[in-house]
A and B are shown apart, each in its own frame.
Chain A
Amino acid sequence: MKNIASLLHEHPFFHGLSGGDLNFLATCAENSRYKEGEYLAKESAPANHFFLIRSGRVAVETFVPNHGPLCLMTLQDGDIFGWSWLYPPYLTAFDARALSPVRCLRLGGKCLREKCESEPRLGFELMKRFARIATERLQAARIQLLDVYGPHPSQNPVQRRPHL
């Protein structure tokens, strides 16, 4: 049976980190499983965890009044979810719901913050990795906003909604 450090090593987010760093972080992590339909995190709840998805699919959703849940994006093997534990007020921004059985590594947010504070070199390395993923997701969100498959994709999306 693999230990937590080797499971961390297998996840793309931690590729390239030294064994020492992974052992140092492994004390914050635990293996967890979610059934289909179960929530990994709920909007506005304390952001206590950072998730590394090992297998399965997760929908990042928000509830729209008079409409219901709206899926913003889906995550899968190799993706991560949750960085709201990084900064105050440490509240989760969106719901995360398992679309299929999900296996993941769950790292304690407070524990990770303390490790990053105590080991700034490792903290900076992790921040660079978070920044890259946050940038990729921001770019993806901007492309979604362009509505490239819509009837008038060349129009400024804000101009199309004059009430904004």
Chain B
Amino acid sequence: MWRIERRHEEFPGTVTLALRREGHLEVPALPGQFNMLYAFGAGEVAISLSGPSAPSSDPLIHTIKSQGFATQALCRLPVGAQLGVRGPFGHGWPMLDGSHRPLVIIAGGLGLAPLRPLIYRFLQGQLPARSLQVFYGARRPQEMLYREELPAWGKSFELVTSVDHADTNWNGHVGVITDPLRVSAVNVKEALVLLCGPEIMMRFCIQVLRHKGVPASSIYLSMERNMKCAIGLCGHCQWGPHLVCRDGPVFCYQDVCKWFQINGL
């Protein structure tokens, strides 16, 4: 049985939980994969891994936004509470395979969570990337994830943050994340671009990336659909010919671009 070891409220309605199963070695999980978290009596929901910071026996980290019945129940759980965990499931982010390409990460809102393990790996020298650029967009400064970590990240690699709305206390960029992306110097021939965020935000970012000349084969994105069984049996997360839980949630844009353009799919 899993217990909550730590609980951190990122901002009202969004918490990060550290989960540990006493006496057991953790199942190795890859950045981009997800677990099914079960709040007893409420239900089960797919949540991406946002940690651990190192592939070791550290607790599993999940960042959860309180939206539906199950996520509300998970967000209310206190430290020490029990919950069920199945996983990890799905295909994670491509791990560069020693190619030392420049890595570009574009995250929106809660979409930073599944990309955070990759950022940790880069910081620990475990990711064979030549460089890292991170573009992170959020609604307001108060609704940014991992705010205490962002200043240190900004000293270690190029970090561009942008919010849609801000008062005069915010000294960063205000506007949609596509603005700084459009004017940024991205190595379009070599860069590997990883995207995660609201689907509409990813669509506009892909437009900018394609306009800049980034090949579709160099863009990877994490899709979100209603995943129930997580093992490709129930069909709830069907997306064109794919089942997001089994074939994703990370897809290469080249493989899914024709499904990506169909409204309502």
Which residues of A are at the interface with B, using a C-beta cutoff of 8 A?
59, 61, 67-74, 76, 78, 99, 136, 140, 143-144, 146-151, 153
At the interface, yes or no: B143 with Cβ under 8 Å from chain A?
yes
| A147 lies within 8 A of B164 (CB) | yes
- How many residues of B sit at the interface, in one of the four size bands? 20 to 34
| A61 lies within 8 A of B178 (CB) | no
Q: Which chain A positions have C-beta within 8 A of B179?
A: 73, 140
Q: Which chain B positions have C-beta within 8 A of A150?
A: 139
| Chain A binder among B33-41, B150-158, B167-175, B234-242 | B167-175
At the interface, yes or no: B201 with Cβ under 8 Å from chain A?
yes
Q: How far, in whole Å, are A144 and B138 apart by their CA atoms in the complex?
A: 11
| A59 lies within 8 A of B168 (CB) | yes
Q: How far, in whole Å, are A1 and B168 apart by their CA atoms in the complex?
A: 36
What residue of chain B has the Cβ atom nearest to residue A153's Cβ?
B198
Can you list 19 A-B contacts with CB-CB less than 8 angstroms, sorted by A residue number?
A69-B167, A69-B168, A71-B167, A71-B170, A72-B174, A76-B173, A99-B171, A140-B175, A140-B178, A140-B179, A144-B164, A144-B175, A144-B176, A146-B200, A147-B139, A149-B109, A149-B138, A149-B201, A153-B198
> Chain B's interface: helix, strand, loop or mixed, by majority?
mixed
Query: Nearest-CB distance from B140 to chain A (Å)?
Result: 9
What residue of chain B has the Cβ atom nearest to residue A67's Cβ?
B167
Query: Nearest-CB distance from A11 to chain B (Å)?
Result: 13
Contact A149 B108, CB 8 Å, known A68-B168, A71-B166, A143-B178: yes
At the interface, yes or no: B1 with Cβ under 8 Å from chain A?
no
Q: How far, in whole Å, are A146 and B139 apart by their CA atoms in the complex?
A: 11
Q: How far, in whole Å, are A87 and B175 apart by their CA atoms in the complex?
A: 26
At the interface, yes or no: B254 with Cβ under 8 Å from chain A?
no
| A78 lies within 8 A of B204 (CB) | no
Q: Which chain B positions have C-beta within 8 A of A146?
A: 200
Known pairs A59-B168, A71-B170, A143-B201; list 14 more (Cβ under 8 Å). A69-B167, A70-B167, A71-B174, A140-B175, A143-B204, A144-B164, A144-B176, A146-B200, A148-B197, A148-B201, A149-B108, A149-B139, A149-B197, A149-B198
Q: Which chain A positions have C-beta within 8 A of B176?
A: 140, 143-144
| A74 lies within 8 A of B201 (CB) | no
| A68 lies within 8 A of B167 (CB) | yes
| B174 lies within 8 A of A151 (CB) | no
Q: How far, in whole Å, are A146 and B183 apart by their CA atoms in the complex?
A: 22
Contact A151 B164, CB 8 Å, known A71-B170, A140-B175, A143-B178: no
Q: Which chain B positions have C-beta within 8 A of A72?
A: 174
Query: Nearest-CB distance from B142 to chain A (Å)?
Result: 12
Contact A71 B138, CB 8 Å, known A59-B174, A78-B183, A148-B200: no
Q: Which chain B positions have C-beta within 8 A of A68?
A: 167-168
